[in-house]
Amino acid sequence: MSTATTDIAAPPPRRKGWTRFVPFAGYLRQSVGWQRGMLIAGLVITAVFVLVAILAPLLAPYGYADLRDDRGPFDSQAAPSAGHLLGTTVGGFDVLSRVIWGARTAVLVVILAVVMSLFIGVALGLLSGYFGGWFDRIVVVIADAIYAFPSLLLAIVMSIAISGGQSSMMGGILAAAISITVVFVPQYLRVVRSETVRIKSEAYVESAKVVGASSMRIMTRHVLRNATRTLPLIITLNASEAILTLAGLGFLGFGIEPTAAAEWSYDLNKAVADVSAGVWWTAVFPGLAIVLGVLGLTLTGESINDLADPRLRGRRAAPAEDLMAEGATSEEAES
């Protein structure tokens, strides 16, 4: 009995060295070739956007709603110059400042949406998979029904319900984050539920029940750690989808007002008419920010997906095995 208890309480093996303190370091060690290149590129692009969002007040030459400086009001649709490196919009806003401040808005939406959907989905998945019964059936039916709602349509409905279509900064961020949360919760729920159903029949869980461990202790100490190992992949892919949902919301006119916060897709929407007039800078730079933000998160997620596949991860060991086989063959030939 004491041996079983010791095995159950044994902590998982710890990563050694600097990998204990660096996120995704384990994936970097496993990656090789194109996988490592994609992962590094994705992490670098994502890190740059996060740093820009944090340091926006220091990096942006003007505020997101500034229309003038000490020399007077800004010119409308001014071409890139020394005073405005990326030009100005039709409303007179500085494009570079709007792009930098827009990174903070995007990061806030991603963090809120992912954190809320993660906590709700994991909690429901654990309870549903562990206890089963009528609660499990109801949760699964609701999760399946949510898939029938397009995320963008739900975002529009939430925006109207929360802020009446006139989005303030927090109103627009919450509208996008809540709508994305509702769409993403079933994904986390399904993954955690399926893993919980599998794990609860393992021998160490049965041993924990025998020694008198409570259901809450078993779920939080033994099931949770093993049921959430694949979530980093879902988090990165959902984060990129959150940026796209926010972009679609703003482009359709349900985004955040320009005087409340900077939002890339709102500026992109206002720049549609500029393109036909030869004013390209008001659309290119906000659109490029959206593309790069989604690209960084997508590259990171796809690389993690490849590394999580045992068939792709096994290619790393293949060259070493081939070298050992070649060495054994040469030794046999010499003998």
246-265 pLDDT, tens digit each:
888 778 877 677 677 788 88
Q: Domain holding 138: CATH number?
A: 1.10.3720.10
At residue 289, the pLDDT reads 92
* Contact partners, residue 156, CB within 8 Å, separation at least 6: 249, 252, 254
Distance between CA atoms of 317 and 100, rounded to whole angstroms?
43
Segment of 45-59, 145-159, 160-174 carrying the highest mean pLDDT: 45-59
- Which tokens hold the place of 160? 């109207």
Structural domain boundaries enclosing 188: 2-7+19-327
Q: Which uninterrupted H or E stretch holds 9?
A: helix 2-9
Averaged confidence pLDDT in the chain:
76
Distance CA(230)–CA(219), nearest Å, equals: 17
Tell me whether residue 333 is in a domain: no
332 within some domain:
no
Percent helix, strand and coil across the chain, each rounded to 5?
A: 75, 0, 25
Confidence of residue 6 (pLDDT cuts 50, 70, 90): very low
Torsion of CA 248, 249, 251, 253, to 10 degrees: 160
Give which of 247, 276, 293, 271 is closest to 93, Cα–Cα. Answer: 271
The residues, any chain, with a CB within 8 Å of residue 180's CB and separated by 6 or more, are 109, 113, 117, 151, 155, 238, 241, 242, 245, 246
Assigned domain for 12 exists: no
Residue 335 lies in a domain: no
pLDDT at residue 4, as a whole number: 42
Element (H, E) at 92: none
For the cut 90, the answer to whether the pLDDT of residue 55 exceeds it is yes
In a domain, 14, yes or no: no
- Four-point Cα dihedral 81, 82, 86, 90, nearest 10: -60
Decide if 124 is inside a domain. Answer: yes
Please state, for a pLDDT cut of 90, what percent of the chain lies above it. 9
Confidence class for position 8, pLDDT limits 50, 70, 90:
very low
Q: Is 200 within a domain?
A: yes
Q: Kindly calculate the radius of gyration of the chain based on its CA atoms and give it in whole angstroms.
A: 25
pLDDT tens digits, 217-241? 777 777 877 777 777 778 887 888 8
Structural domains of the chain, count: 1
More confident residue, 72 or 24: 72
Report pLDDT for 185.
87
Helix H or strand E segment including 311: helix 310-313
